[in-house]
C-alpha cells in the first residue's frame, strides 16, 4: 500500500519537474498596418511578445526614436495574462506584452526598423525587422506645414547663420543682408531639430539688434516645416520673426539668438530633458541713401493726402488739418513740417500711427492733426506738403505731395500774434510772478543728516539699553529682597519659638530652635542646605566661603554647645539659655552681614 502511494506522488510530480526544466516558448512580432501609407494617413505599429512558461522582463523598439517624422498620435501598452490548466502537463502560465503605436507620417520616405528586442527570464529574443514605406500625400505635398515660411534650401549648400548640431540648432536668416539705411530687413530665427520637442516648452530669447529699429511680429503658434540638412530631415520651427530698420550705415550685427526647450516626457517613465541652444551672430551691411537726393528723404514708398475738416470758420476759431501718409516702410522715420501760414497760428500736431504687415513688409499710416487758428479774416491757404522718399526696390527717389488747401475765416480780426510758433522758441520770461532773491545766506555746505552721524544710533539705542539694564537690576534686587524677606521671617519665627521655649523652661526644645536658627541663617546666606554637615566639614566649608575665622569658631562652638545641651538639658539654667539666645542673635546677625569672599 505504501509503495502504491509513493508511485502516485512520483507520477504527479513528474510534469511539474518537466515544466520547470523546459525552455520558455517566446514569440516576438513587429507589425505595421498598413506597411505602406501616404503622408498624413494613420499607421498602426504593434510590437508584441508572447511567452509561455516564462516571465517577460522588457520589450524595446529603439528605432522609433530615430524618426521624428513619424509622429506618435497615441501609444497603448497591453499586458494580458493567461493561465492554462492541463491535467497532463500541470498548470502553464502564458503571458504577453504589446506596445501599440498609432503613427502619422509627416514626411515621405522609407523607414527601416531594426528588430524589436524582448527579454524573457534573462534571455533576449528578437522580432523580424520591419520596413515602412510612406508615399507623398495627395497633391504631392510631402507633409510639410504650409503655414510656416520655408527657410532657404540647404541641401548641399553652406548653412548660413547657423552652427550645425546633429540634434538641434538655431539659424538666423536675414533678408536681405545688404540694404539701404531705413530699408526693411526681415530677421527670422529658426529652430532646426530632429528631437520631438514640447511646443509649450520652447522659450526663445531675443537677439540683440543694436542700430536697428525693430518691429516684432509675434509668433502665436509654433509651426514647422521639414527641411533636409546634410541628408537628414529636420523640423524647422520659426521661433522669432521681426522687421528691422537700420538707423545708421555700416556693418550692423544681429546678436546670437538663444532658445531652451524640453524633449521627451511623453510618459511617466520618460523624464523631459531640457535642451539649450545658442545661434551665431549675423551681419547686415547698410549703405547710406544714394546721392544726390533730397536731404530729408526716408526709405520706403508712400502716398500722402491732406484735408481740412471745414473750409469756413470764424476768425479765432479752430480748423483741423489732417495729413495721412500711407505706404511701405518704417513710419517712425516720417517727419512733416507744416510751412508757416500767414495769419494763421498752428498748434503742435497730434501724431497717430497704424501699422500692419503685408506679405512680410511693414506697412502703415501715420496721421498728423494740426489745429489751425485763423487770426485774421480772409482766405487762408495751406501750402502743399511734400514727403520725399527713396524706394529701395526700384532704387529711385520719389515724392508724394498734397494739394494746396484753402479755408476762409470771417469776422473781426483778432489781436496780432505770432503766426506760427517756432518749434524751438524760448518761452517768455515771467519775472513778475517770482519773489525777490535772497540777499543773505549762511552758505552752508552739505551737512550730514543727523540720522547719519555716528552718535545717532548710539544715542537712539541708549534709552532702551538703559531700560533693559534697569529692569534687569530691579528684577534681581526684587528677587533678592523677596528671598531675604522670606528667610528673615523664618528666622524671626525660630527665634520667637526659642524665646517661648526659654519662657516655658524647656531646654531641649530651646536648643533645638537654637540649632535650627543658626542652620537656617547659614542656609539662607550660602543658598544651600548645610544642616546635615559634620561640624568639621562645616568649618572647612565656611572657611572656603570666606567667613570670618572668629565667627566660624563661635558658630561651631555654639552648635556644639547646643548639641551637648540638647542631650543633657536637665542641668541647664535659665540664665544660661538667656545668654545662649543673646549669643545666637549676635551670631545670626554677623552671618547675615558677612560677605562671601568669592
Using CB under 8 A as the criterion, which residues of the chain lie in contact with other proteins when the complex forms? 210-214, 247, 347-348, 371, 421, 426-431, 433-447, 449-451, 453, 455-456, 459-460, 462-464, 466-467, 470-471, 474
Place of cell 516571465: 55
CB of 118 vs other proteins, minimal distance in Å: 58
At 582, is the secondary structure helix, strand, or coil? helix
Please identify, using beta-carbon distances, which residue of 284 and 587 lies nearer to other proteins: 284
Q: Give the residue from 102, 114, 68, 54 showing the smallest Cα distance to 232.
A: 68
Beta-carbon contacts of residue 6 (< 8 Å; ≥ 6 apart): none
CB of 466 vs other proteins, minimal distance in Å: 7
Distance CA 174, CA 185 (A): 7
CB of 430 vs other proteins, minimal distance in Å: 5
CB of 428 vs other proteins, minimal distance in Å: 7
Please identify, using beta-carbon distances, which residue of 213 and 397 lies nearer to other proteins: 213
CA triple 149-283-261, angle to 5 deg? 50
Please identify, using beta-carbon distances, which residue of 61 and 372 lies nearer to other proteins: 372
Please identify, using beta-carbon distances, which residue of 133 and 214 lies nearer to other proteins: 214
DSSP state of 249: S
Distance CA 304, CA 326 (A): 6
Residues 557/539, Cβ–Cβ less than 8 Å: no
Q: Give the residue from 80, 31, 28 showing the smallest Cα distance to 50.
A: 28
The length of the chain is 598
Which backbone phi and psi does 542 adopt, to 5 degrees? -70, -35
Q: Give the residue from 479, 534, 514 showing the smallest Cα distance to 588.
A: 514
Please identify, using beta-carbon distances, which residue of 121 and 421 lies nearer to other proteins: 421
Residues 300/347, Cβ–Cβ less than 8 Å: no
Distance CA 180, CA 333 (A): 14
Please identify, using beta-carbon distances, which residue of 281 and 546 lies nearer to other proteins: 281
Q: Give, in order, the Cα–Cα distances in Å from 207 to each of 179, 253, 259.
A: 19, 10, 10
- Taking the CA atoms of residue 126, residue 129, residue 132 and residue 133 in that order, the dihedral angle to the nearest 10 degrees is 180
CB of 309 vs other proteins, minimal distance in Å: 15
Chain centroid offset of residue 395 CA? 49
Please identify, using beta-carbon distances, which residue of 473 and 531 lies nearer to other proteins: 473
CB of 433 vs other proteins, minimal distance in Å: 5
Strands 168-175 and 282-287, by their bridges, are unpaired
Is residue 238 exposed (0-12), middle (13-18) or buried (19+ Cβ within 10 Å)? Answer: buried
CB of 572 vs other proteins, minimal distance in Å: 49
Please identify, using beta-carbon distances, which residue of 85 and 434 lies nearer to other proteins: 434
CB of 427 vs other proteins, minimal distance in Å: 4
Please identify, using beta-carbon distances, which residue of 155 and 431 lies nearer to other proteins: 431
- DSSP string over 67-135: -TTEEEEEEEEE--EEEEEETTTEEEEEEEEEEEEEEEE-S-EEEEEPPPEEEETTEEEE---EEEEEE
Residues 399/302, Cβ–Cβ less than 8 Å: no
Beta-carbon contacts of residue 301 (< 8 Å; ≥ 6 apart): 327, 328, 329, 389, 391, 393, 398
Please identify, using beta-carbon distances, which residue of 228 and 475 lies nearer to other proteins: 475
Please identify, using beta-carbon distances, which residue of 369 and 563 lies nearer to other proteins: 369
Radius of gyration for the alpha carbons in the chain, expressed in angstroms and rounded: 53
Residues 171/159, Cβ–Cβ less than 8 Å: yes
CB of 425 vs other proteins, minimal distance in Å: 9
* 42-72 burial code (b ≥16 CB/10 A, e <16): ebebbbbbbbbbbebeebebebbeebbbbee
Please identify, using beta-carbon distances, which residue of 241 and 301 lies nearer to other proteins: 241
CB of 422 vs other proteins, minimal distance in Å: 10
CB of 506 vs other proteins, minimal distance in Å: 45
Helix (H) or strand (E) holding 553: helix 549-567
CB of 593 vs other proteins, minimal distance in Å: 27
CB of 474 vs other proteins, minimal distance in Å: 6
Residues 47/79, Cβ–Cβ less than 8 Å: no
Please identify, using beta-carbon distances, which residue of 395 and 452 lies nearer to other proteins: 452
CB of 463 vs other proteins, minimal distance in Å: 4
Please identify, using beta-carbon distances, which residue of 440 and 567 lies nearer to other proteins: 440
Amino acid at each position: 500500500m505504501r509503495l502504491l502511494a509513493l508511485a502516485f506522488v512520483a507520477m504527479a510530480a513528474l510534469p511539474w519537474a518537466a515544466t520547470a526544466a523546459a525552455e520558455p516558448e517566446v514569440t516576438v512580432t513587429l507589425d505595421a498596418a498598413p506597411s505602406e501609407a501616404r503622408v498624413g494617413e494613420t499607421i498602426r505599429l504593434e510590437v508584441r511578445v508572447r511567452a509561455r512558461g516564462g516571465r517577460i522582463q522588457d520589450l524595446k523598439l529603439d528605432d522609433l526614436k530615430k524618426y521624428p517624422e513619424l509622429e506618435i498620435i497615441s501609444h497603448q501598452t497591453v499586458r494580458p495574462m493567461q493561465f492554462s490548466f492541463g491535467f497532463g502537463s500541470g498548470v502553464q502560465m502564458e503571458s504577453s506584452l504589446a506596445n501599440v503605436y498609432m503613427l502619422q507620417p509627416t514626411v515621405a520616405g522609407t523607414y527601416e526598423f531594426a528588430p524589436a528586442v524582448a527579454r524573457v527570464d534573462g534571455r533576449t529574443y528578437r522580432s523580424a525587422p520591419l520596413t515602412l514605406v510612406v508615399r507623398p500625400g495627395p497633391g504631392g505635398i510631402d507633409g510639410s506645414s504650409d503655414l510656416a515660411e520655408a527657410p532657404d534650401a540647404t541641401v548641399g549648400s553652406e548653412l548660413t547663420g547657423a552652427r550645425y548640431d546633429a540634434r538641434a540648432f538655431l539659424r538666423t536668416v536675414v533678408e536681405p543682408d545688404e540694404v539701404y539705411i531705413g530699408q526693411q530687413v526681415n530677421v527670422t530665427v529658426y529652430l532646426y531639430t530632429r528631437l520631438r520637442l514640447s511646443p509649450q516648452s520652447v522659450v526663445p530669447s531675443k537677439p540683440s539688434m543694436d542700430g536697428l529699429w525693430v518691429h516684432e511680429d509675434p509668433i502665436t503658434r509654433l509651426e514647422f516645416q521639414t527641411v533636409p540638412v546634410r541628408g537628414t530631415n529636420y523640423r524647422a520651427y520659426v521661433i522669432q520673426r521681426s522687421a528691422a530698420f537700420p538707423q545708421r550705415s555700416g556693418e550692423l550685427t544681429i546678436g546670437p539668438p538663444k532658445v531652451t526647450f524640453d524633449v521627451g516626457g511623453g510618459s511617466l517613465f520618460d523624464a523631459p530633458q531640457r535642451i539649450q541652444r545658442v545661434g551665431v551672430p549675423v551681419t547686415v551691411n547698410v549703405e547710406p541713401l544714394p546721392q544726390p537726393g533730397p536731404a530729408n528723404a526716408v526709405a520706403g514708398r508712400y502716398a500722402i493726402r491732406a484735408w481740412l475738416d471745414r473750409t469756413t470758420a470764424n476768425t479765432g476759431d479752430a480748423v483741423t488739418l489732417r495729413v495721412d501718409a500711407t505706404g511701405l516702410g518704417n513710419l517712425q522715420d516720417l517727419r512733416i513740417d507744416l510751412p508757416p501760414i500767414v495769419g494763421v497760428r498752428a498748434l503742435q500736431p497730434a501724431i497717430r500711427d497704424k501699422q500692419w504687415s503685408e506679405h512680410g513688409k511693414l506697412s502703415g499710416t501715420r496721421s498728423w492733426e494740426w489745429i489751425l487758428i485763423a487770426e485774421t479774416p480772409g482766405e487762408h491757404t495751406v501750402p502743399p506738403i511734400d514727403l520725399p522718399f527713396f524706394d529701395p526696390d526700384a532704387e529711385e527717389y520719389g515724392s508724394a505731395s498734397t494739394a494746396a488747401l484753402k479755408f476762409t475765416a470771417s469776422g473781426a480780426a483778432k489781436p496780432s500774434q505770432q503766426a506760427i510758433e517756432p518749434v524751438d522758441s524760448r518761452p517768455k520770461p515771467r519775472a513778475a510772478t517770482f519773489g525777490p532773491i535772497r540777499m543773505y545766506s549762511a552758505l552752508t555746505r552739505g551737512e550730514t543728516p543727523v540720522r547719519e552721524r555716528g552718535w545717532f544710533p548710539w544715542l537712539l539705542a541708549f534709552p532702551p539699553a538703559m531700560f533693559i539694564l534697569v529692569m534687569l537690576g530691579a528684577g534681581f534686587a526684587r528677587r533678592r529682597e523677596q528671598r531675604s524677606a522670606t528667610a528673615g521671617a523664618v528666622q524671626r519665627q525660630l527665634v520667637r519659638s526659642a524665646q517661648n521655649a526659654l519662657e516655658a523652661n524647656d531646654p531641649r526644645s530651646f536648643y533645638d530652635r537654637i540649632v535650627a536658627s543658626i542652620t537656617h541663617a547659614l542656609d539662607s546666606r550660602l543658598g544651600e542646605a548645610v544642616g546635615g554637615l559634620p561640624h568639621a566639614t562645616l568649618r572647612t566649608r565656611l572657611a572656603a566661603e570666606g567667613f570670618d575665622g572668629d565667627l566660624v569658631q563661635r558658630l561651631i562652638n555654639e552648635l556644639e554647645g547646643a548639641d551637648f545641651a540638647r542631650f543633657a538639658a536637665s542641668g541647664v539654667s535659665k540664665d544660661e539659655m538667656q545668654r545662649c539666645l543673646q549669643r545666637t542673635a549676635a551670631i545670626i546677625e554677623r552671618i547675615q552681614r558677612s560677605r562671601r569672599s568669592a
